[in-house]
């Protein structure tokens, strides 16, 4: 008794009566011609749509570099105009026996010197700098709302506190540079018709 293999059977798709054709029948093709399998039909309204958020990034060139070039050009023009219209001559060599009329610290210490005009040296020279440095270091631990945030708009408390520290420091430095004259008295530059006006800036950088 010998086994005989049945010949390979081929699947034949019979034609459908045109009167009974449905939408699925109209799309029916032989299995060998389609690599997918139809499981179900889903209405379009039931499909979950994912809306892509707008991308707010820009290319470094030309967007970022063009803005930085314009800022550098404007700053260069500003410094050139200051050099042309503001009198800032070099002073004589330092003489330990003669106290200058306007004794100012370097600009990065003028904020502390300005605070000394209002507070006790212990407060202005030790407590305030310690408070500012420790407070700035503790800012990230104060705002714990969203520690994974990467945008300033998501860390508003941190931005506000740091801006407050930076703004106060720049304000007292600005006053010390431009509005302090002989004897570290308060003056108004270029407005000589005031009793505290001076003909120019008592600049000290």
Chain mean pLDDT for the chain: 76
* One-character DSSP codes across 131-171: HHHHHHHHHHHH--S-TT--SGGG-HHHHHHHHHHHHHHHH
The rounded distance, in Å, linking the Cα atoms of 93 and 69 is: 39
- Closest by CA to 172, choosing from 94, 113, 90, 119, is 113
Predicted confidence at residue 29, as pLDDT, reads 55
Predicted confidence at residue 50, as pLDDT, reads 57
Predicted confidence at residue 103, as pLDDT, reads 77
In tens, the pLDDT along 134-192 reads 888 888 788 777 777 778 788 888 888 888 888 998 999 988 888 888 778 888 877 77
The rounded distance, in Å, linking the Cα atoms of 173 and 75 is: 20
First to last CA, the chain: 113
pLDDT at position 120 over 80:
yes
Helix axes 128-142, 156-178, angle to 10 degrees: 160
**CB < 8 Å & 24+ apart, contacts of 147-155:** none
Q: Tell me the whole-structure pTM to 2 decimals.
A: 0.51
Averaged over 5-17, what is the pLDDT?
59
The rounded percent of the chain whose pLDDT value lies above 70 is 66
Residue 12 — pLDDT band, cuts 50, 70, 90? low
pLDDT at position 49 over 70:
no
- Closest by CA to 127, choosing from 108, 105, 112, is 112
**CA distances in angstroms from 40 to 23, 24, 26, 37, 43, listed in the order given:** 13, 11, 16, 9, 10
Averaged over 99-103, what is the pLDDT?
73
pLDDT at position 198 over 90:
no
> Cis before residue 62, ω within 30 degrees of 0?
yes
Predicted confidence at residue 74, as pLDDT, reads 96
In tens, the pLDDT along 60-93 reads 788 888 999 999 999 999 999 988 887 766 767 7
Predicted confidence at residue 127, as pLDDT, reads 92
């Amino acid at each position: 008794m010998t086994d005989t293999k049945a010949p390979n059977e081929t699947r034949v798709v019979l034609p459908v009566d045109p009167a009974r054709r449905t939408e699925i029948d109209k799309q029916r093709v032989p299995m060998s011609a389609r690599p997918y399998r139809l499981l179900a039909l889903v209405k379009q309204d039931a499909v979950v749509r994912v809306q892509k958020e707008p991308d707010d990034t820009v290319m470094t060139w030309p967007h970022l570099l063009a803005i930085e070039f314009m800022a550098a050009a404007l700053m260069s023009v500003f410094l050139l105009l200051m050099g042309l219209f503001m009198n800032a001559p070099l002073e004589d060599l330092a003489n330990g026996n003669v106290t200058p009329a306007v004794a100012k610290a370097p600009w990065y210490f003028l904020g502390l010197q300005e605070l000394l005009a209002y507070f006790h040296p212990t407060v202005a020279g030790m407590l305030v700098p310690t408070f500012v440095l420790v407070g700035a270091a503790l800012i990230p631990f104060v705002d714990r709302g969203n520690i994974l945030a990467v945008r300033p708009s998501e860390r508003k408390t941190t931005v506000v506190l740091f801006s407050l520290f930076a703004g106060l420091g720049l304000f007292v430095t600005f006053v010390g540079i431009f509005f302090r004259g002989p004897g570290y008295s308060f003056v108004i530059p270029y407005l000589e018709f005031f009793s505290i006006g001076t003909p120019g800036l008592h600049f000290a950088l």
